[in-house]
Amino acid sequence: MRKETKGIKLNLYPQDYEKIKIAAQSLSMTMAQYIRHLTNTKLVSDRKKVVTQIEKDTLRELNHIGVNLNQIAKRLNQDNKIDSYVLQALENISQYIQDKTL
């Protein structure tokens, strides 16, 4: 096993620091381990996207919204009218998106 003998100081923007921290935590690594992992696997230059937990959660939420929209579309196609169920579902989705983007 090799021992790390050199150190570097790295200044980051706060948002970049948080991205690295979250990505490292999602892989149960320290930030130093995560950065070494990136350089050793060449993910810095020819990188395959490392999906963070936040990105996974966002994709899951978007999938749920898509499922809801499909259910609304199906209901509209069956009834050819907008009823209170559909309006309420659309309002809920609209409010959810507004809450997440503010």
Q: Which of 40, 37, 3 is nearest to 20 (CA)?
A: 37
Can you give the pLDDT at residue 45? 47
What is the number of other CB atoms lying within 10 angstroms of the CB of residue 19? Answer: 15
Q: Tell me the residue length of the chain.
A: 102
Torsion over CA: 99, 52, 4, 9 (sign): negative
| Amino acid at position 31, single letter | M
Give the model's pLDDT for residue 18.
92
What is the chain's pLDDT, residue by residue, as a tens digit (102 residues)? 677 778 888 899 999 999 999 989 988 999 988 888 888 776 544 445 666 777 778 888 888 888 888 887 787 777 667 777 777 877 888 888 777 765
Answer left, alpha or beta for residue 65, where phi above 0 means left and psi between -120 and 50 means alpha.
alpha
pLDDT for the residue numbered 51:
64
